[in-house]
Amino acid sequence: MAPGRGRPPKPTAIDGELMTAVRKALLHVARDVSVPTRRYPAASVDAPSRTRTEPQALDLAVLAVQAEAALEIIAAEQVAKAREHDQLTWEQVGEGFGTSAQSAHIRFGRTRAAAATTEPARRSR
């Protein structure tokens, strides 16, 4: 794969299995960080009076964006490990992300972990 220029574009198609796993993981994270839940009608034709409990959609969307930022930091940590333990070059890192060595270095070269562990802002009601 020839390296492209700049930051790799966001994918337009994501594997269905990955999307399912990420959606499940997001719900687990929501539970772990105590995102408030609400009762909603269950999507069941057989039992229209049944309800399900889940986080409100906007709260889940905010959490997803916060998780995206956390995953960027984790990706940077993993790139640093790969460079240290596997002796990967910036060219190899860039190749893995479909970008140039310079873009990979700009994206992952700075240690992001230092600024990572602050208390996330919660949406007020």
Q: How confident is the model at residue 118 (pLDDT cuts 50, 70, 90)?
A: low
More confident residue, 59 or 10: 59
- State yes or no: pLDDT of 4 exceeds 80: no
pTM of the model: 0.71
Question: Where does residue 87 fall: left (phi above 0), alpha (psi -120 to 50 degrees), or beta otherwise?
Answer: left
Q: Which amino acid is at 107?
A: R
pLDDT of 90-101, one tens digit each? 999 999 999 999
Q: Which amino acid is at 44?
A: S
Q: What is the mean pLDDT of the chain?
A: 84
pLDDT of 45-76, one tens digit each? 777 778 889 999 999 999 999 999 999 999 99
- How many residues belong to the chain? 125
Task: List all residues 6 or more positions away from 62 whose beta carbon is below 8 Å from its beta carbon.
Answer: 123
What pLDDT was estimated at residue 47? 73
For tokens 């034709």, the residue is 45
- State yes or no: pLDDT of 10 exceeds 50: yes
